[in-house]
Chains A and B, each alone.
Chain A
C-alpha cells in the first residue's frame, strides 16, 4: 500500500543519518579528543548543523591551532554545499552505520572545497538553488512573485527544522498549470562517485509532446544510460534518492514534487552495486 503523498514529504524532511565525528589524528590537541555522535538531517548542510561538533573539539584545542573547519570521509573532502543525504548516498551508502566522518581544522583544501565563512553563505547558496530550480520549473515566475519575507521563510524553515513553516511556502513552488501536466523542466542532478564530472544537469521535460508522463527510467536512458541494467545483465548500479531505490517506472513529475530536497532539486546518486 502506497503511503499518502504527504507522508512521503514528511519522511523525506525528517530523514536522519547517525554520524560519528572523529578529530583528525594530526590536529594538535591539549588532551585526547573523544568522538562526537550526532543524527544529521539528510536535507540540510554540514556547516549548518555542526556547531556542536565544532564546540566539542574546540574544548581540547588552542585557538591558534584552529582554522576553518572541514570534513572528510575516507580521504575525500566532503562538499558542504551538497545536501548531507547526497554526500552519504554518494560516498557511504553501503557502509556500516554510523557514518564515520573525520573533522579537520587545518590545511583547508581550497582546490576542492568552497569556503563557508558564515551561515549567510549557506543561505545564499540555498536560495540560489531554489531560484535556479524555479527558473527551470516556472521561468522564475513563482519565485520572483514571492516577497523577501517569503524567501526568508523558506530558509528559516530549513535552518530551524520547521516542516510546516517551510512547506507553507514551498507548496507554491510545486504548483503548475493543470493543462501543462507538470513543470516546464525538471530540476535534477545526477551524481556518480567515480567521475571527473561532479554531476549531470540538463534540460528535461516531465511530459512528452504527446502528453505521456516521463519516468525516472526515461531520464536515465537519456542522461546516463550506463545506469540502466539491460535484460539478462547483472545489475551494476543502484539509482538512489534519499537512501532508497525508487522504481524506474516512477513518474518524474511525481518524484520532483515529492522527493526533491528543500532546494527544489531532485538529487540522484548512481553508485556501484555492492559486491557481497
Chain B
C-alpha cells in the first residue's frame, strides 16, 4: 500500500476479501463487474422499516431536530420528542428477509409500536475514485412504492452526531451526484478528505503486525454515518489464531480513532 492512498488494484483485492467475508457472514455484499473487466463496485441492499409517525414528523419540520433519527441499523432507537416516551423500533433486515445479525450484543428485537411503518430500501455502492485514490460511498433509497428519498429525507437518517459536522463542511457533506458507472442520481459522501482521515487510522493499524483491509477499515468509519453497520465479526474472521490483542479490540479501537478523527476533520 503506497502511503495512505489506494490504487485500483489494491481496491479490487480489498473488495474481493471483503466479499469473501461477507459471503461467510451472509452480510449481503455483491460485486458488480463492468463488462468482464476488473473494474466494478461492491453493492448491498438493505430494507429498513421506519415508523410512519416519526417519518412524517420529519417531513413536516423544516429543520431536522437533532433528537430524531428514525432510520438506523440499531434495533432500538429512542425518540426524544415531547410526544413520545416509549421506545420505538427500527428493525434492520437484509433483502433476503433474514433479520440482520449485528453481533451478539445487538439482538434484533421485534417490538411493535403504535402507528404503521414504512419500509425503505437502501442501496449502497462502493466505487473507486481514481482522482482521489480512495473508495467512495454512494447510496440511494426508495419507498416500496418506488418514490426516491430526497436529500432532506436522507439527512434525517444520518446519525445526529455526524449531522452537525457534515452540514457545516460541504466537502464531506452528503450531496446528490451522478453515479459514474450507472449514470443515475445517488447520494455520495465526498471522497476528497478520505486520505486525510484514513492516514492516522492506517498508521495505528499498521503498527500491529497484521494485514489491514483498507476498504473494510474505511467502510467501518464512514458506513455508520449513513446507517450502514459493519459487524465486528468481519475482523474476527480474518484471524483464526489467537494473538496478543484480539482483532475485535483492534478493530473497535481503530474504528473509534477513525471516527473521532473523521468527525474532527469534517468539523474544521
Contacts and interface: CB of A to CB of B under 8 A. Distances in A.
Interface of A: 79, 81, 110-115, 124, 128, 131-132, 135-136, 140, 187, 196-199, 201-203
B148 A110 contact: yes
Contacts of A187: 131
27 contacts: A111-B148, A112-B184, A112-B185, A113-B185, A114-B178, A115-B151, A115-B185, A124-B170, A124-B175, A128-B175, A131-B171, A131-B192, A132-B132, A135-B131, A135-B132, A135-B192, A197-B34, A197-B181, A197-B183, A198-B178, A198-B180, A198-B181, A198-B183, A199-B180, A201-B130, A202-B130, A203-B130
Contacts of B132: 132, 135
Contact of A81 (B170, B178, B182, B190): B178
Given A198-B183, A202-B130, A114 B192 contact: no
A140 to B, nearest CB: 7
Given A110-B148, A197-B183, A140 B192 contact: yes
A198 B179 CA distance: 8
Contacts of A197: 34, 181, 183
B22 interface: no
Chain B interface: which size bin? 20 to 34
A140 B179 CA distance: 22
Given A114-B176, A124-B170, A140-B192, A132 B181 contact: no
Contacts of B190: 128
Contact of B184 (A111, A135, A202, A203): A111
Contacts, number: 50
B177 interface: yes
Interface in B172-208: 175-185, 190, 192
Contacts of B170: 124
Contacts of B176: 114-115
Interface in B67-99: none
B185 A132 contact: no
Nearest to A127: B170
B150 to A, nearest CB: 8
A140 B148 CA distance: 34
Contacts of A199: 180
A81, A110, A112, A113 pick with most chain B CB within 10 angstroms: A110
A173 B132 CA distance: 17
Contacts of A201: 130-131, 180
Given A131-B192, A201-B130, A110 B185 contact: yes
A199 B181 CA distance: 8
B184 to A, nearest CB: 6
A136 B175 contact: no
Contacts of B192: 131-132, 135, 140
A114 B185 contact: yes
B268 to A, nearest CB: 13
Contacts of B151: 115
A203 B130 CA distance: 7
Nearest to A200: B180
Nearest to A116: B176
A263 to B, nearest CB: 13
Interface string B140-160: 000000001011000000000
